Structures are given as structure tokens and as C-alpha cells.
Structure 1
Amino acid sequence: MAPQLVTLGMFIIDEFEYQDEHGNPTGQTLPSQIGGGGTYASVGARIWLPAEKIGMIVDRGDDFPPAIQDTLNSFGKEMWLYRDNPDRKTTRSLNSYRGDHRGFQYLTPRIRITPRDLIGTKLEHPATLHFICSPSRASAIMSEVHADPEWKPITVYEPIPDRCVPAELPALIKVLPYISILSPNAEEALSLLSIPQPSTKALIEEAGNKLLELGVGDAGCGHVIVRSGHLGAFVATRERSEWVDAYWTEHDAGKVVDVTGAGNSFLGGLAAGLLVTSGDVFKATLYATVSASFVVEQAGLPVLTRVTDNDGTVHELWNGDSPERRLKELQKRLGKVTE
């Protein structure tokens, strides 16, 4: 059976470097950790779905750390399709912090994943396909999808930050008719449309509605979700639009530790929510919001544990808490009907 969600995002091992504004080492250190937008999207979906309904290709080099292998497998071996290449190194990146400036660079060559890589594997023909890339590469991905007339996935497109500039808007417009859900963050959406910062709810709504008008979705059935940090998420369709609050807000001191991967996990949670809610994007956004809430509580991925009731029922907890409990709390806060 095909999985509900497959991401074309990469697996990356993140390295970190900290300097002051003058370029001097600060002495702050952080060990290597699991990274990659695809990894975070997969875990965001895993919070709601069993491992066998999720899929991602993980390229393992000859330096793949056993501890990272154990961590990935703790979420469920079924969700990872490992590809071994003993002649290459695992993809690594450097996240550098100099004062308030954050830099990112690859330390090894990237191994891009396309829909062709799924053919003949357990990940072929997923119901939902997630990808993070430039508009031109998104067009190439959709060309491969269209080459298989029997496969019509929900497509969740997350544009990469450095291509969210006005010069990329024409290329984005070309691919928008083939995108089911377009989801930039607020800064990216405003930048694409040359709308001045800083982000406000009014400007985010303007950007989201404008992106919708530019043609998201075949036959006008697409959605735009602008991820907006502590402001929540603005969800727009041609029939309606509304804000969904973030689970942790700016008033929850100490709860938000590191937002790395929050947007990716949000979209993984969204894909899972679409399955659970039979395609209701507004209800699915609540699932997405809860997924992101677990990712921001620490540097790196959340921790999955299992507890067994007296009757033998096994419950999965993330960071020691229940996703279902958080979902009900968010539904109550927003005045939604708990189902």
C-alpha cells in the first residue's frame, strides 16, 4: 500500500559554528544533529500517522553515525528508505551564527531526490508529495509527476527561502496551477510579492490572497497557507480564509527554544491531518500546528516514548505529552468542535 506522505526533502547532518559580530569564536558549541527539511516533515507527519504511512529516502554515506541511525529508527524503521553509497559522504551542512546573522552552506555535495527515485520502491505513488525547492525545480518535479498519468498526488510545495525574491515570481506563477498547497512563511511571501516588511496580519493576508489569485491549484482548487510564527498560520482558499493560532505564543515564555524545522514539521503534520480529516485543509492545519509545537521545544527533533496502560493499550508521547491532548486544547481555544 502506498504511503500517505512522501517527501523529496533531503536528510542532512547539521554542524554548527558560533562567532561574535567581529568573527571571533564565542566558545558556544552544539553537537552535530539530524537536519534536513524532509526529515522534519517526516517526523511532523509521524506524530499523527504510523511509520508505514510515511516515506523518505535517506542517503547514507560511509560516515553515517550509528547514533543517528538509532534515532531515526526510534520513529519507525518503516518510514525510511535507506540508500547506501560507500563512496560518498553523508550530506552535511554548516549553520554559522555571526552576531545576529545566520549563514548556511553545504559541506558536501547535495544528493537531490526526484519522483523518479520513487519508482519501483515502497514509496511509489504516495497520496501526498512534499517538496522544498526553487520554482524552476518545482516545475521539473511536476513534469516527472505528470509523466505518470495514474498518479495524481496532493502536492505540498514549500519554496526555499533564498528563492523567495521578486525575480523568481514569474517562474513560480508557471508552476502554481499544478500545486495543491503552496506554503511559504510570512517573510518569504512578502518578499516574493515585493510587499514591505515587517510582517503584520494585514500584510500577510494581502500576500496570501494575492498568491491565491496568481493561480494556485488546477481548476482553482488550490490553497495557500502562510506560516507566520507566533502569529499562527493564515489559510486561504477561494471560498474562505481564516487564521489558525500557533500552539505556543509569544506569551509562553521558555516554550519556544529553537524554530529550526518548525515549518517543515508543520507541513508534515498538515499532510497527516488531511488524511485524518478527509481533506479538510482548515482542520488539517490544527494538526500541523500541534506538530510544529513539539519541534520548537528543543534543539533538534522531539523525543518519542511509549507508555502502556493496564489493559495493554500502548500510547505514544512526544516530549512526554500527547498530541491528541494538545489538539483538543487547541480546538477548544479556537472554538472548534472536537471530533
Structure 2
Amino acid sequence: MTQDSSRKFVTLGMFIIDELVYDAGRITREQIGGGGTYATIGARIWLPPHEVGMIVDRGYDFPLDIQTKLEKYGTDMWYFHDDQSRVTTRARNTYIGDSRGFEYLTPRRRITPRDLEGTTLARPVILHFICSPTRANAIMSEVLEIPEWTPKAIYEPIPDRCVPEELPSLIKVLPRIDILSPNADEALSLLSLTGPATQEQVEAAADRFLELGVGPEGNGYVIIRSGALGAYVASRTRPGRWFDAYWTKDDAPHIVDVTGAGNAFLGGLAAGLHFTDGDPYEAMLYASVSASFIIEQEGLPSLAVSEVTQSETRPGELWNGELPVERLEKLRKRIQQ
């Protein structure tokens, strides 16, 4: 089988049905969740359904209304794996002040590169995964065993395994990772750096990762997502650069729920690589716009159809009532000022 380049982006991240619990114990209705889901939507904002995708494990209890919601974004971007012997993966997200807790309520099933083989998602151009450094090594070893496939790898470390004990495993896998993207707290924790996540600390962390050798022959990129500070991108051959988030601290009414924003950022980044001839610096703009649509509400953004056609986005697609390309141009003008 030769590489099928029709899939520009596929994630190994999971689909999860989320339960959200807030300070007063209020539980929202069940909500579509999972880092893989948000990453896929982040890419879908820019790419047609047949160019993105993920595996959705569908247990015997999979709600029909959730399937209907997923398919509104496109039917052929989801590859449903049915297992009537188990329940769908569920988790609880607890928010107390600025702290967030996460726990699985049911057993989870990890997705591997071999799971993509024989499906419509096989051998994408870009492969995204969210896991521990130890598992990242296993994933990339499995990729090497699949002939005629050399995807760009975007690796997002999972928060609870961003600990100093995982650094040796991270160092081992870094040469096979094209883009490493922890958030600021995760980056500092992996490197045993103390103190608040200031711009100086983030830049120091990125430099350290680059010294350890990211990407084949050290030609990879580090992108550290830093919340209100924006996101920082650096490589060994180009100066590091900060990019502001689309919504800033002055846009508080637009910032409703940041859950999944980092995942969607990386999906948008992957799509941006397609439109910018593989330039991560330019792709950062697409990433920021994707994240901006995620944080405007609880859950996933809305998708509607308009008669407007734009060359850089899907014809006639409005996300939360706006064309992504219009936000892209606003952001581009802002950073040029």
C-alpha cells in the first residue's frame, strides 16, 4: 500500500464523553470531549472532512444525539470502531477556581498507528498524538514498522506524565518528532524548571528542548502553548517568536471555556502547515484562529453554511457565525502592526 496523501491530518487522540463538575457541584449535561476530538475539529475548521480524521470508539451505550452532532461536521472524518462488549470512554472534568481535575470513569482504549491500517485513515501526511513520552516512543516505533509512510509527527505530551522521570524517554523520542508542543507548565515540569511560567522561562525551556535534539538531524520545532502569554515557537535555524492568542485579556466575554483549546490549536497548526508549505511560524496563525473558536462556548463550535466562498477555507462554512479566513486576516494584520 502506498501512502494516501488525501488525509492531511489524523490524530491518535481519544474520543471521550465528558462530565463537567464546577465549584458548587453543578454537573452539566454530557458533552463531547477528548483531546483527539478537539484536535480534529481544530483541523476541520480549515480542511474538508475527507482530509482529516480520527477513530471514535463506540461502545454499546454510545448516545445517538452525540453521533448526530459529530456527523454535522462531516460523516467521513470519523471512523467508528464498534465494540458492543464495552462502554464508551467517559471522564469527569472538575473545575475548582483555577484548578482543573480529570479522571476517567470507564476503561479507556488507546489508539495506535496499526489501528489506522486498513481504514480510510491510513497513512496520513501529519500524525498527531497525545500521550506520555514512554508511549510516544512506542508509537513512533510502530510508525517505523509501516512501510512507505513517513508522516510529520506532532507530539503533545499528556499533562500527568510531564514529570522529570519521563525526561529520558522524551530525549529518546525527540529525534523522531517534527513538532514538540507541551504547554508552559508541562514544559517547565519536564525540565525540572521552577518558578512561574514567564516568557523568559518558556524561552529557556524551548532552548533546552532544542539542545536535546528535536526532529531528524535536529531540524524540528518546539511550540510551547502559554495561555494568556500566547504561544512561543522556536527552532535551531530560526529565531524564536511569540504569537498572541486571537482573543486577549481584553476580550473576556469571548472566553467561556478553554477546555480543548490547546488540542484544537495543534489541529489548526497541522492544517496551517498544508496552506503555508510546511512553515510552522506561518501556521501559528491558523492554530490561534482554531483555538479562538473553541473557547467561545462550552463544547464544540457551531458550523453553518453560507453562500460566501473563500479560497483559504471551506466554501460557505461559518464557524460560530464567522469565516475562519476573516479571523486569519485580522490576526495577520494585528501582528504586522
- CA distance in structure 2 between the aligned counterparts of 1:122 and 1:266, rounded to whole angstroms: 24
Q: How does 1:1-339 map to 2 (within 5 A)?
A: 1=4, 2-19=6-23, 26=24, 28-98=26-96, 100-240=98-238, 241-309=240-308, 314-335=315-336
The SS at the match of 2:100 is strand
Q: Which residue of 2 aligns with 1:22?
A: none
Structure 1's unaligned 5+ residue stretches are 20-25
- CA distance in structure 2 between the aligned counterparts of 1:9 and 1:221, rounded to whole angstroms: 25
Cα displacement (A) at 1:97:
3.4
CA contact (8 A) 1:178 1:216 kept: yes
Question: Structure 2: which amino acid aligns with 1:335?
Answer: Q
TM-score by structure 1 length? 0.94
CA contact (8 A) 1:134 1:163 kept: yes
**RMSD of aligned residue pairs (Cα, Å):** 1.5
The SS at the match of 1:301 is coil
- CA distance in structure 2 between the aligned counterparts of 1:110 and 1:243, rounded to whole angstroms: 36
Q: Please identify, of 321-330 and 98-107, the stretch whose mean Cα deviation from structure 2 is larger.
A: 98-107
- CA distance in structure 1 between the aligned counterparts of 2:292 and 2:207, rounded to whole angstroms: 26
- CA distance in structure 2 between the aligned counterparts of 1:314 and 1:175, rounded to whole angstroms: 39
Question: Structure 1: which amino acid aligns with 2:276?
Answer: T
The SS at the match of 1:317 is strand
Cα displacement (A) at 1:102:
2.6
- CA distance in structure 2 between the aligned counterparts of 1:323 and 1:273, rounded to whole angstroms: 12
- CA distance in structure 1 between the aligned counterparts of 2:25 and 2:220, rounded to whole angstroms: 47
**Could you list the per-position Cα deviations for residues 230-251 of structure 1 after superposition, in whole angstroms to 9, with x for gaps in the alignment?**
2111000111221111101112
Structure 2's unaligned 5+ residue stretches are none
Corresponding residue pairs, total: 328
The SS at the match of 1:253 is helix
- CA distance in structure 2 between the aligned counterparts of 1:237 and 1:210, rounded to whole angstroms: 11
The SS at the match of 1:104 is strand
**Could you list the per-position Cα deviations for residues 32-75 of structure 1 after superposition, in whole angstroms to 9, with x for gaps in the alignment?**
10000000000000000000000100011111111111110000
TM-score by structure 2 length? 0.94
Quote the sequence identity (%): 62
CA contact (8 A) 1:247 1:289 kept: yes
Question: Structure 1: which amino acid aligns with 2:204?
Answer: E
Cα displacement (A) at 1:99:
5.3
CA contact (8 A) 1:231 1:249 kept: no
Q: Please identify, of 189-198 and 256-265, the stretch whose mean Cα deviation from structure 2 is larger.
A: 189-198
CA contact (8 A) 2:8 2:274 kept: yes
The SS at the match of 1:308 is coil
CA contact (8 A) 1:187 1:197 kept: no
**Could you list the per-position Cα deviations for residues 171-208 of structure 1 after superposition, in whole angstroms to 9, with x for gaps in the alignment?**
11000000000000011111111111211111111111
Question: Structure 2: which amino acid aligns with 1:118?
Answer: L
- CA distance in structure 2 between the aligned counterparts of 1:263 and 1:27, rounded to whole angstroms: 25
Q: Please identify, of 313-322 and 189-198, the stretch whose mean Cα deviation from structure 2 is larger.
A: 313-322
Task: Label 1:153 to 1:314 Cα distance change in 2 as closer, same or farther (>3 A).
Answer: closer
